[in-house]
Structure 1
């Protein structure tokens, strides 16, 4: 799966955001740092989404399986 990283200049640092997942944000002093940090931000986002899913009571779920994207 390919995701698009958008980097903008903030007041004091660069701000990185994934276009396809606007809730995934990070910051850094350099473009390289933002690129490195976005991986951590995405991992935390996905971990949080999994935790939210396991907290639900499972109502109306008809199937659930893990998928791997290259």
Structure 2
């Protein structure tokens, strides 16, 4: 899985988030620090998602889908 890290300037720190997962946020003083912190934030997000995962016996279909963004 490839994710796009977006880093922008906040008031006092750099702010990082994934384009594909905007709810995964972090901050840091340097780009390197943001990159380290976003890995931790993603790990916590995925751990939380696993805890909320659906019971596999309830799944009736599963397939991979690819979405392509359309220009506005």
TM-score (norm 1): 0.76
Using CA pairs under 8 Å that are at least 6 residues apart, name the structure with larger relative contact order, 1 or 2. Answer: 1
Q: CA RMSD in A?
A: 2.1
Counterpart of 1:3 in structure 2 is: 3
Q: Deviation digits for residues 19-56 of structure 1, max 9, x if unmatched?
A: 01111110000000001111000000000011112xx5
Deviation at 1:57, TM superposition (A): 6.2
SS in 2 for 1:27: strand
Extract structure 1 runs of 4+ deviating beyond 3 A: 56-60
- Structure 2: which 5+ residue stretches go unaligned? 63-72
Question: Given the two structures, how large is their TM-score scaled by the length of structure 2?
Answer: 0.74
Partner of 2:31: 31
Structure 1 residue runs without a partner (length 5+): 65-70
